Amino acid sequence: MCEQCNYKELLKSVHLEPTEKRLRVLEVIGNNTFPLSASDIHDTLDRNQSINRVTVYRILDLLVDKKIVDRISTGGRAAYYGLGPNEHHQAHPHFYCKSCGQMDCLNPGAMAVEMSNFKKTFPGRIDKLELRLDGICKNCLKKTIN
């Protein structure tokens, strides 16, 4: 997703020690072109070298908190995780296939969201905009799994 990103620097930039496990979690997320679930991430890491489930959740919370990583809702219970917007890539909408459970990133220009004017008059504080399209991806459509 972001080959230009130096994960070590990324962690340092938000005042997080670039510990081995944090780096490994961030690498798994960053080396994918689409967001992953927490258990995807845990499974990937655990296959190579043991890491606790709770540690994965704690690191994810930390990274989301520091806005290095974005938590994307599926509309269901599990959240997906992808690299957050940074100098190398913009915020973008997501497509979630209800059939195969794949979460995909869409082109940031795929849809225009008029926010700036709205933000000015909104009485509360807006921290995040989450935009997700739900449907059936082209592979699942082919298989007519519906």
Which of 8, 33, 61, 119 is in the footprint of DNA by CB under 7 A?
61
Contacting residues for 54 by C-beta, under 8 A, at least 6 apart: none
Among 4, 48, 50, 146, the residue binding DNA under the rule CB under 7 A is: 50
**Selection from 73, 78, 53, 56 nearest residue 128 by Cα:** 73
Residue 140's binding partner among DNA, its own copies, none (Cβ under 5 to 8 angstroms by kind) is its own copies
Stretch that binds DNA, among 11-19, 104-112, 114-122, 138-146 (CB under 7 A): 11-19
DSSP state of 84: P
Pairwise CA distance, residues 90 & 124, whole Å: 24
CA–CA separation, 145 and 139 (whole Å): 9
- Among residues 46, 74, 89, 91, the one that binds its own copies under rule CB under 8 A: 74
Q: Which residues bind DNA (CB under 7 A)?
A: 16-17, 19-22, 37-39, 50-55, 57-59, 61, 77-79
